[in-house]
Amino acid sequence: MKYYHLNVHNTMKINSNYPFPGFKVGEVPDPDIIIKVKKDINFSKEGLTRLDFWFYGKEGEDFVYYEDNSLGVNDKVLLKNLKGKTEIYMTKSSVIMDKFYVPRSRGGLRELINAIIQVKLIMGGYLFIHAACLAKDNGAILLASFPNTGKTLSTLQLLGEGYKYISEDTVLVHRDGYAYFSPTNFTVHLDSLKFIDKECVGIFKFYKLMTKTWIMKKIKFLGRILTPPKIGFYNVVCPNNMVTSAKVRVACCLEIGKREIKRVDKKLLANKILAINRYSIPRFDVNPFMWVYSYFNDSGINKLLKSEKNNLLNFLRDCDCYILSCEDRNWTPLIKKIMGEYDVESKANK
């Protein structure tokens, strides 16, 4: 049987017997999560409490079971051992059905996997932040914001200023203050092309991107019906402009408004980052399986949310925290100013 895996910075490793999007061929040793897609799941419901028509559980027990045969499909999912080596069992019918229709009662199976990954990472002291992150000299800067605020363009601009790439959209961080290389795909626009290294992306691909973006900008109708081109940041940035991890020394939230640099305390910035995350990133705390698990276990969503916030506060412990505002999304002058001030302070404290 062929196996597939997903490895999140060696902090969260998953083996699966089914090729979910993003999974690679092969297995990883000592996985944190094991996914098994089977023809059927034989799980006794005797002695279990039933919630609504589909979910089953038992007080204090580390599992959630879902079963729905109402549409004539053998739709079953079993989540076991959230606190230890987690197992997720699902029927082949469930996987096939998700390609055509995702039941609202349980949500998508890939969303369930993502929710479990988030939960396990939080338990280990990690969390994802919707932010760009770049490193230079003494440390890294984190730029958290709502979507379409200018993180991608700022990242491309700062790479030209000698910064090293860690992330431009969603970055994995740990409570010890470090951020980890988290490449994503970004939408290419004409104004971002000038920052892309032709040699890194390839001459032919570069001009193909340029042609499509130019046509979409000039012909507004096509811009409405065509999907803008996307490319992975790891294909755009040369290897010597990337770092795998860095200690974050400056953390910012970006806002559209009157040009201003405002220094704030860590609790305020943490609350703003959590609000950004809940708006911008698919969340474990909206997943039906997580709420059913919380119904039967005290160590459910509320404790996880508290742990997530504690992880974030610890991550920000050694950071200088700012809110940056401008109306034209040109964050680079503000970033260079606060990073210049940080460098001066760092040298003075040595």
pLDDT in tens, 182-223: 887 767 766 667 667 777 777 887 778 788 887 777 776 666
CATH number of the domain bearing residue 170: 3.40.50.300
Pair type for strands 164-167 and 131-136: antiparallel
Residues 203 and 345 placed together within one structural domain of the fold: yes
pLDDT at position 186, please? 66
Residues 136 and 96 placed together within one structural domain of the fold: no
How many structural domains comprise the chain?
2
Q: Is residue 307 part of a domain?
A: no
In DSSP notation, 23-42 reads -EES--SS-SEEEEEES---
pLDDT at position 350, please? 45
Q: What is the chain's mean pLDDT, rounded?
A: 89
Q: Is residue 58 part of a domain?
A: yes
Residues 65 and 175 placed together within one structural domain of the fold: no
Q: Which of 77, 107, 137 is the last residue of a domain?
A: 107
pLDDT at position 347, please? 47
Residues 16 and 64 placed together within one structural domain of the fold: yes
CA dihedral for 189, 194, 197, 203, sign (positive or negative)? positive
Q: Is residue 195 part of a domain?
A: yes
What range defines the domain where residue 334 resides?
Answer: 128-268+318-349
Residues 31 and 98 placed together within one structural domain of the fold: yes
Residues 76 and 225 placed together within one structural domain of the fold: no
pLDDT at position 73, please? 86
Residue 330 pLDDT > 90, yes or no?
no
pLDDT at position 5, please? 95
Residues 44 and 160 placed together within one structural domain of the fold: no
Give the tokens for residue 129: 């932040």
Q: Cα-atom radius of gyration of the chain, to the nearest Å? A: 22
pLDDT in tens, 135-190: 988 789 999 999 888 888 888 889 888 899 999 889 999 999 999 998 877 677 66
Q: Is residue 306 part of a domain?
A: no
Q: Which of 42, 73, 107 is the last residue of a domain?
A: 107
Higher pLDDT, 217 or 134: 134
Q: Is residue 311 part of a domain?
A: no
pLDDT at position 344, please? 46
